[in-house]
A and B are shown apart, each in its own frame.
Chain A
Amino acid sequence: MSLFRNNIAQYSDERLMVEVIDHHSHAALTELHKRYSRKLLGYFIKMLQDHELANDFVQELFLRLLEKKHLYDPEKKFYTWVFTIASNMCKTAYRRSPMQSLSDDGFELRDRTSVNEDLAEKERFHELLKHSLDLLEHPHKTAFVLRYMEQFSLNEIAEITETSLGTVKSRLFYATKKMTEHLKAYDPKYETTLFKLN
C-alpha cells in the first residue's frame, strides 16, 4: 500500500480510476482530486457564477465519482468523462433553478451600471461578457465555456456534451452571435465602434 502511495503521482488518470474501481482507493481519488479539482472549480464558477456553490459541486462530483465508478468506461479519457459529469450536474442545476426574467429582446438589464462605469474598459468588457454568458441558454453556455474558457477541442466537447461535432459548432457560432447582440443591446457603444484588439 505504501509503495502504491509513493508512486501514485506517476499514475495516469485512467490507472488511478482503475484503482478507485477495483480497490475503492481513497488515495487514488484524492490524487485525482488534486489534479482536477481546481480546473473543475473554475468550470463550475463560470457556469454557476457562485463560488460557494461551485465548491460544493466539486465536492459532490468526487463523491459521485466514487458512487458511480462502475459507469466509468476505461476506453474513454478520464478528463472528458469527469467533465461530462460536471456538465450534467450544471444542466440539472440549471433545470432546477428558477427561470430568469428576461425583457422582450431576451436581455435582462441588471443594476451594475454604476459599478461598471468605474471599471477600466477591459474589465468592463469582461464584466459584460460574463453577464452575456449568464444569459445564454444552457447548451450554448456549456459549449462556449468549454471551448473558449476551458480550451477543450471541438471533438472533446462533442464527447462531453454527448452531441455531434456539427451541433457543437452550431452552438458555438450562435452562442457568440447572441452574446454580441446582448452586448450591443446593453451598451450601444459596441454597435458601431471598431475595436482595437488587445
Chain B
Amino acid sequence: MDKHLNNAEERLFELLESTDFDQLSKEDRAFVEQHLSRGDYELQRRMITEAEHAFPAPPLAKPLKFAPVRLMGRSIPLYQAILSVAATIALFLFLWPETSQPNEQPQSNPQQLVSADTVIQTKIVTDTVIRYIEREIIRNNTAAANPPETVIDAAPMRVWEAGAIELPAITEELVKTKGSSLQEDTASKTILNGIYVARAS
C-alpha cells in the first residue's frame, strides 16, 4: 500500500515536476533546502526532465495480422462462423434423429443391456513348424532296363525251366480241400522247394 504524501512532500513533488532549482523563488528554495540538498533536488529534476529522451524513438510496430474467417468471399467474425456450424449440426440432428443417435438402446428390452468391463483377446501363437522336403528320386539304370513285368515273370520261368516242380503234382495239391491253417500246406512247401532248387541251379 502506497503511503499518501503529506503536505510538505506534495509541495516538494509539485516543485520537482515544474521548476528547476535555479528558477525557484527564495521562499521555495528555502523550503526545498529544508528537505533536500541542492544536489539531490537537481538530480531528481534531471531525471524527470530527461526521462523522455532516455529511450530512442520507437520503430514502427509490425503490421496487425488477423486470422480471418471467410464465407462467400467475405470476412465474417469467428463467433458467427461457429454459430453457423452449430446451426447446421442442429438442423441435421433435427432432420435425421435416428441416424444421428446410433448408440440409443431399444426401450422394449432393457435387460439386454450388457455392461462389459472385461475384454478377452485370444491370440493364436503357432509353435509347430511342418517342413515338407522334396527329394528327387533317381531310378536305377538296371531297373529301368528291366520293366517290373519282366522281373515278376522271370521267377516262375526259372522254376519252370529248372524242372523243380511237376505241374500235375502241384495242381493236385492246390485243388485239395483244406482248412484255413497254413501249417501243413504241402502246396506251399512244394513251391518253396522248387524256388530254392531253381535258385541253386
Residues of A bordering B, CB below 8 Å: 24, 26, 29-30, 33, 37-42, 45-46, 51, 54-55, 58-59, 62, 122, 125-126, 129-130, 133, 139, 144, 148-149, 151, 166-167, 169-174, 176-177, 179-180, 183-184, 190-195, 197
Decide if A33 touches B50 in the complex (CB within 8 Å).
Answer: no
* Given contact pairs A169-B5, A170-B4, A46 touches B42 in the complex (Cβ within 8 A): no
Given A129-B51, A148-B51; 17 other pairs, CB 8 A cutoff: A33-B61, A33-B64, A38-B60, A41-B61, A45-B58, A59-B62, A166-B4, A171-B2, A176-B47, A180-B43, A180-B44, A183-B47, A195-B39, A195-B42, A195-B46, A197-B42, A197-B49
* Given contact pairs A46-B55, A176-B16, A195-B46, A167 touches B2 in the complex (Cβ within 8 A): yes
* Given contact pairs A148-B52, A183-B43, A195-B46, A166 touches B58 in the complex (Cβ within 8 A): no
Q: How far is the CA of A30 from the CA of B64 in the complex (A)?
A: 7
Decide if B46 touches A176 in the complex (CB within 8 Å).
Answer: no
* Given contact pairs A42-B57, A46-B55, A149-B54, A176 touches B64 in the complex (Cβ within 8 A): no
* Given contact pairs A55-B62, A129-B51, A167-B4, A197 touches B46 in the complex (Cβ within 8 A): yes
Decide if A37 touches B61 in the complex (CB within 8 Å).
Answer: yes
Decide if B39 touches A192 in the complex (CB within 8 Å).
Answer: yes
Top 3 closest pairs, chain A to chain B, by CB: A37-B61, A42-B58, A148-B51
Decide if A194 touches B5 in the complex (CB within 8 Å).
Answer: no
* Given contact pairs A33-B61, A38-B60, A167-B4, A126 touches B42 in the complex (Cβ within 8 A): no
Decide if A173 touches B48 in the complex (CB within 8 Å).
Answer: no
Q: How far is the CA of A123 from the CA of B83 in the complex (A)?
A: 57
Nearest Cβ in chain A — how far from B52, in angstroms? 6
Which one of B5, B47, B60, B68 lies within 8 Å of A179 (CB-CB)? B47
Q: How big is chain B's contact interface, by range? A: 35 or more
Who on chain A is nearest to B20 by CB?
A197
Inter-chain residue pair count (beta carbon < 8 A): 115
Which one of B5, B40, B48, B61 lies within 8 Å of A170 (CB-CB)? B5
Who on chain A is nearest to B52 by CB?
A149
29 A-B pairs, CB-CB below 8 angstroms? A33-B63, A33-B64, A38-B60, A41-B60, A42-B55, A46-B55, A54-B58, A55-B61, A59-B62, A126-B53, A126-B54, A126-B55, A133-B54, A148-B47, A149-B52, A151-B52, A167-B2, A167-B4, A170-B5, A173-B5, A173-B12, A173-B13, A190-B43, A192-B39, A195-B39, A195-B42, A195-B43, A195-B46, A197-B42
